[in-house]
A and B are shown apart, each in its own frame.
Chain A
Amino acid sequence: MNKKAKILVVDDDVQHVDTVRTLLENVGYEVDYAYRPEKGIEKAKAFKPDLIILDVMFAGPPGPDGVETSRKLNEDPDLRGIPIIILSGVRKVLDLPFKLQPDEQWMPVKAFLEKPIKPDKLLAEISSALEK
C-alpha cells in the first residue's frame, strides 16, 4: 500500500463515526466523514475517497436515505466507480419492507453490513471492496 487509501464515512451517529474513524486511521487509512448524506456527496467530490461507508437511516430533517444516496453516487459521473459499503443498524426487513441485497439498479453497493459489527469483519470487508 504505497499511498494511504481514503475512506469516507457517512453516518449520523457521532460516536459511531468517531469509533470507525479511530479504528480505520489506526490501521492506516485516511478517513473523512459526514453526518448527512447530502453533505456526504459534497465531501466525496472534494475528498475523492477510494471507498464510502454509508448508513441507511438518518435522523434529522428529511432527506435521502442511504440506499438513495448510493444510487445518486453511482449516477454522478465524477463519483461513479467508487465502491460503497452500507453499514446500517436497520434490522433488515423488519424495519424496511424491501429487499436489502446489493443490487446494480436499486442499491449499487459492494456489501451490506449490519451493526453491530466487529472490527475483524469490517476490515475484511473494506479490504475486499478495495481490491476489486
Chain B
Amino acid sequence: MKLRTKTNIGILLVFCILAISTGVVTFRWHTNHAIKGAENRVRLYIKAAWEIYNSKTDRIQFALLVLAEDDKLKNFMLDRRSTDLRAIVLEQLERVRREQNMDILNLVDTKGRVVLRTRNAGVRGDDVSNDPMIRLVLKDRRRSGGTVLFDSGRLQTEGEDLVRLAKLYGGESGAMMTGAAVPVKHNGRLIGVIQMGNLLNGSVEKVDRIRDSLFENQRYNGKPVGTATVFMRDLRISTNVLNQDGTRATGTRASGEVAERVLKNGRSWTGRAWVVNAWYLSQYDPIRDPDGQVIGMLYIGSLEQRYLDERSRAVLLNLGVVFGGMLLAVVVFYLIIRTILSPVHRLYQATRKLSAGDLTHRIDVRSNDEIGELSDSFNHMAEQLLKDQKEIQESHAQLEERNEELHTTNRNYMEMLGFVSHEFKAPLGSAILGLYSVKDGYLGPVSESQTRVLGSVAHSLDYLNDMVKHYLDLSRLEKGELRPHRRTVRIKAEVVEPILSGLRPAVEEKQMVVTSCLADDLTANADPSLLRIVYENLLSNAVRYGREGGSIQLAGKRRNGTVELVVYNDGDGVPADKINRLFKKFSRIDNIRNAREKGTGLGLFICKEIIDQHGGSINAESEEGQWTKFTFTLPAEASVGQPLQQVQ
C-alpha cells in the first residue's frame, strides 16, 4: 500500500472515531439538556398556572370586600326580619352574581347557617359550617379563598341545575368550587360571612385561560403544545385535553401512580405522561382546600415532541458544524499530506528512473525542508553517478584501447617468435644430424672426453629443438591458427604407435617398459596432428621424467560419448602443491634430481589448449616419489552440427 493511501486511511479513521464520539456526546448532552430544560419549563408553567388559577379568587375576594361594606347588607345581617330589606339585598347580590358570572353567592350568619342564597333562593337556613372556607372565616374573622369540595347534599342545596351540570362533567354527585369568603363586620364585630364561587366541574374558563396564557393555544404537528386540567380527586372535571373525537376529555381519570403520589401523599408528580395520543412532559400539583386537605389536582402538560425535535435540530446543527469542520480538516490534512508526499513521490519516480539507467534525470527542488534536502542529495548523487559513469566509460575505453594494443603487441611478438623459431629449424636440423654423426662415431673414432662434451652439446641442441617446436605451436595457438580439423582417429595406430617408435631409442636407453592397453578400435573425434602433439608431449615427458627401469602405461576407454585416455609413468612425480601449476604457461617444476632434464614449460600448456579446443579436459595426479598420471578426455563422436572435415 502506498504511503499516501495509508496516511489518508489513517486520517479518515481518526476523523471517523472523532465524529462518532462527538456525535454520541452531542446527542446525549442535547437529550439531557432538552429533557432537563423541558422539566424546568414545566415547573415554571405550573407556577404560572397557579397564579392564573388563584387570580380569580383574589378578584372574588376584592368584590366580596366591597360588598361586605354595603350598609344595606350589614343592616340585613343585623336584622333579617325585614322582608323588604331581604328582597333589596337579594336583588342586589343576585345582580352581582350574574354580572360576575358566579355560580353561588351566599350570606351566612355567625353560626354557619345560610341566611340568604342568590341561586336557589328558596332554600336557606342550612348549616354550611363544615365548609372549610366558611369555617376559617368564622374562626379567624378574616377573609379566605380557594377551592373546596361540595358533597352532593351541599350541591343539591345550592341548586338542582348545578347537580345536573356536575354530573354532566364528571358523573359524580359532588363538585369542586373555587371562590372566596369574606367576613361581614359591624363596628368591628363579626355579623356574618359572604361567600361567592364558581363550580369547576364543566367550567373551562380557568383551564383555557391557563392554556391560552402559557401556550397561546398553539398546535404542533396538529397536537396542542400544552394543556391544563383540573382534577376533582383523580377525575378530570375541567380540561382542554381533547379526546380523539375532538370533545374535551372530561370524566376520565388520572393514572394510579399519579393519584397515589399526589392525592395520597400530597406531593407533586413530574415526568412523561401519555395523554390521549402523545407524550407530554407533565406536572401534577395537589389542590388543597383552605384546611390543607388534598381534594384534587392541577395538571400542566407540555408536548414532549417539541423538545425532542428541538433537541434533534440542535443535535443536527451541532453535528453539522462538527462534521463540516471535520470535513474541512480532512480536506486540509489531505492537501497537507499531498503537499508533503508529492515530493516523496517525485523522489520515488526519480529513483526509478535512475535505477533504470537514466542518470540525467533531476528532481525539481521546491522546498527547503528534509524532503528538499533529500531531493538535493539525490540530485548530487545522480550528478556524481553520471560523473562516475563517464569516468568509467572513459577508463573502459582506455582499457579497451590498451587491451587492443596489448593484443597487437602480443600478436606481433608471437609472429616474431614464430618466425624466429622457424628460422632456427633448418640450422638446428643439420646441426643435430651433424653433431650426432660425430658423437656416435659415424665419422671416425671419438675420445671419451670428446664424447662427453659432444653429449652435452647434443643435449643442449635437443632442448633447443624442443623449444623451437613448442614456440612454434605456442605462436600458432596465440594467433588462433590452431583450429582442430576433426575426423575419426584410430588412436593407437594413427597416433600412439608412430610416436612410440620415435621414442624407442630414448625408452631403451632408460630401460623403461611401455605397456599399452589401448584397444585397436578405440577412436576419438579429433584432429590427428594435434592429438599427436598431445601424445608426443605426454610421452616424451613420461620418458624424460620417468624412473630408469620403471614403467610407462597407456590406457583408454569410452565412457558416455567421450574417450578417456591415460598416460602413466613411474617416477619422482610432482609435489601436490605444485600439481595445479603444471598446465600454466612457462611453468616448470624444479626438480633437483632431474635438473638436467629441464623442460620448456610449454608442453603441458599446449596439451591443455589443444584438449580444450576439442571440448575435452585434462588433469594430472601424482604420488610424490612414486608416479605421475595424466588423464584427458576427447569426444568419441562428432557432435551434431559440427562440420565434417574431409582431409585430403
- A contact set with B: CB distance below 8 Å: 13, 15-16, 18-20, 22-23, 26-27, 89, 91-94, 97-99, 115-123
Contact = CB atoms under 8 A, between A and B. Distances in A.
B442 interface: yes
Interface in B418-436: 425-434, 436
Interface in B466-489: 469, 472-473, 476, 482, 485
A16 B433 contact: yes
A16 B431 CA distance: 8
B529 A19 contact: no
Contact of A94 (B426, B437, B472): B472
A20 B505 CA distance: 21
Contact of B442 (A92, A98, A119): A119
Contact of A118 (B433, B473, B527, B532): B433
Interface string B492-530: 000000000010010000000000000000000001110
A27 B440 CA distance: 12
Nearest to B530: A93
B356 interface: no
Contacts of A115: 425-426, 429, 433
Given A27-B442, A98-B647, A119-B442, A20 B433 contact: yes
B440 A15 contact: no
Nearest to B432: A116
Given A27-B442, A94-B472, A94-B476, A118 B648 contact: no
Nearest to B494: A101
A117 B429 contact: yes
Given A26-B443, A94-B476, A19 B434 contact: yes
B443 A99 contact: no
B437 A22 contact: yes
B631 interface: no
A49 to B, nearest CB: 20
A23 B647 contact: no
Given A26-B442, A99-B647, A16 B437 contact: no
A20 to B, nearest CB: 7
A16 B426 CA distance: 8
Contacts of B428: 116
A22 B482 CA distance: 38
A20 B528 CA distance: 30
Contact of A93 (B472, B505, B529): B529
Contacts of A97: 485, 647
A128 B443 CA distance: 21
10 contacts: A15-B430, A19-B433, A91-B472, A92-B532, A97-B485, A97-B647, A115-B429, A116-B430, A118-B440, A119-B437
Contacts, number: 86
Contacts of A117: 429, 432-433
A13 B433 CA distance: 13
Contact of B440 (A13, A92, A120): A120
Given A89-B425, A94-B529, 4 more contacts: A15-B431, A93-B529, A119-B436, A122-B433
Contacts of B648: 98-99
B564 to A, nearest CB: 25
Contact of A91 (B431, B444, B469): B469
Majority DSSP secondary structure for residues of A touching B = helix
Residue from B430, B432, B461, B465 whose CB has the most chain A CB atoms within 10 Å: B430
Contacts of A119: 433, 436-437, 440, 442
Interface string B202-214: 0000000000000
A118 B505 contact: yes
Interface in B399-454: 425-434, 436-437, 440, 442-444
B442 A19 contact: no
Contacts of B429: 13, 16, 89, 115-117
A19 B430 contact: yes
B181 to A, nearest CB: 160
Nearest to B421: A91
A30 to B, nearest CB: 16
Nearest to A117: B433
Contact of A92 (B443, B476, B505, B529): B529
A23 B529 contact: no
Contact of B427 (A15, A27, A92, A120): A15
Contacts of B528: 93
A91 B482 CA distance: 13
Contacts of A99: 647-648
Nearest to B482: A94
A62 B429 CA distance: 23
B442 A16 contact: no
Contacts of B527: 93
Contacts of B485: 93, 97
Contacts of A20: 433
A22 B485 CA distance: 40
Nearest to A17: B430
A117 B436 CA distance: 9
A23 B473 contact: no
Contacts of A118: 432-433, 436, 440, 505
A3 to B, nearest CB: 21
A16 B440 CA distance: 18
Nearest to A87: B429
B425 A120 contact: no
B333 to A, nearest CB: 85
Contacts of A91: 425, 469, 472
Contacts of A26: 437, 442-444
Nearest to B481: A94
5 closest residue pairs by CB, A with B: A115-B429, A93-B529, A116-B432, A16-B430, A19-B434
Contacts of A123: 442
Contacts of A98: 647-648
Nearest to A98: B648
Contacts of B505: 118, 120-121
A120 B441 CA distance: 11
B423 to A, nearest CB: 11
Contacts of B442: 23, 26-27, 119, 123
A26 B443 CA distance: 6
A120 B429 CA distance: 14
Nearest to A94: B476
Contacts of B473: 94
A3 B429 CA distance: 30
A20 B527 CA distance: 33
